Amino acid sequence: MIKQAIIPLAGLGTRLLPLTSVFPKELLPMNGKPGIEYILDECINAGVNEIIFVISKKKEIIKKYFNNDSFYRSIIKKKNDPRIIKEYKKILFFKKKIKFVYQNKPMGTGDAVLKAKKYIKSKYFLMLFADDLIMKTNCSKAMIKAHKKYNCSVMASMNVNKNTVNRWGIYSVDKKLDKFNFKISDVIEKPDLLNAPSNNAVIGRYILSKKIFTYLKNQAKGKDGEIHITDAIRRMILDQNLFIGHKFKGKYLDCGSMNGFIKSGIEIFKL
């Protein structure tokens, strides 16, 4: 059973400057609600009941956003607005499910996941990148189904334009397991075009075994001096741990870059 999720949220969001100079990108509105709420909805609808946010001191406003129920209560006392009451109930619901841990230095995705270790109780957990929205389907739910079927780690996958391989983690495919799932034989973080084994990219949804923490503890720094989750996963695969790639249905929206962010808002509006 996958009941816990980790969401790394301590990134600086430099690709979205100036919007992120004082405001966390995850709270920026996408068609009327903060981007992070789409991710939370996906987790909850997939059956997750505890979500660990990895934030930094600079991004404490995220904690404030989800702990602001007393503010809502004071407003509701003065103004009995059904819309605000609904928002209050939603925030209260999320508040009960979220735990916060800190990653004050941006040391990479692997380091962020390691910071959440103390809260992870079960054998497997979900990990999501808030920049990656997947609409029209619940990708996490479909991945949990694949995890149950094959009893292993699962990562979301999508074919990308060959010229952009150096922006993604890229898979080597071992063999197809069924229509949506394949066995991974290797994964490389942001290879250049010449070294890329395919154009099949890692998208920010992972079901990981608790074993990953042992690998992350002694994970050497990789690309740009950061500790990447991809590098630890790669070592696990080489140690014969089964990882499968899941080709999700839905629509992928990249909210981490300025162009992508603008486009995503329009796409969600159109849905």
3-state DSSP assignment of residue 221: coil
Residues binding ligand G1P: number (CB under 6 A)? 14
Backbone φ and ψ for 84, nearest 5 degrees, come out as -70, -35
- Distance between CA atoms of residues 138 and 134, nearest Å: 7
Q: How many residues does the chain have?
A: 271
- Judged by CB under 6 A, which stretch of 58-66, 141-149, 198-206, 241-249 contacts ligand G1P? 198-206
Cβ–Cβ under 8 Å, residues 10 and 52 = no
Looking at beta carbons only, is 129 or 182 nearer to ligand G1P? 129
What angle is formed at CA 40 by the lines to CA 107 and CA 38, rounded to 5 degrees? 100
Q: Which tokens go with 41?
A: 């909805």
Binding of ligand G1P by 204 (CB under 6 A): yes
Window 250 to 269, contacts with ligand G1P (CB under 6 A) = 256
List all residues 6 or more positions away from 34 whose beta carbon is below 8 Å from its beta carbon. Answer: 26, 27, 28, 65
Binding of ligand G1P by 203 (CB under 6 A): yes
Window 165 to 194, contacts with ligand G1P (CB under 6 A) = 168-169, 189
Window 211 to 240, contacts with ligand G1P (CB under 6 A) = 228, 230
3-state helix, strand, coil in the chain (%, to 5): 40, 25, 30
Using the structure block, give the residue that is written with the tokens 């079901």.
207
List all residues 6 or more positions away from 148 whose beta carbon is below 8 Å from its beta carbon. Answer: none
Minimum CB distance to ligand G1P, residue 68 (Å)? 28
Using the structure block, give the residue that is written with the tokens 């607005």.
81
Residue type, 156: A
**Residue nearest ligand G1P (C-beta atom):** 169
- Judged by CB under 6 A, which stretch of 37-45, 172-180, 202-210, 242-250 contacts ligand G1P? 202-210
Window 109 to 128, contacts with ligand G1P (CB under 6 A) = 109
Minimum CB distance to ligand G1P, residue 141 (Å)? 19
Looking at beta carbons only, is 88 or 126 nearer to ligand G1P? 126
Binding of ligand G1P by 202 (CB under 6 A): yes
Minimum CB distance to ligand G1P, residue 261 (Å)? 13
Please pick, from the candidates 132, 147, 206, 243, the single residue that binds ligand G1P as defined by CB under 6 A.
132
Binding site for ligand G1P (CB under 6 A): 109, 129, 131-132, 168-169, 189, 201-204, 228, 230, 256
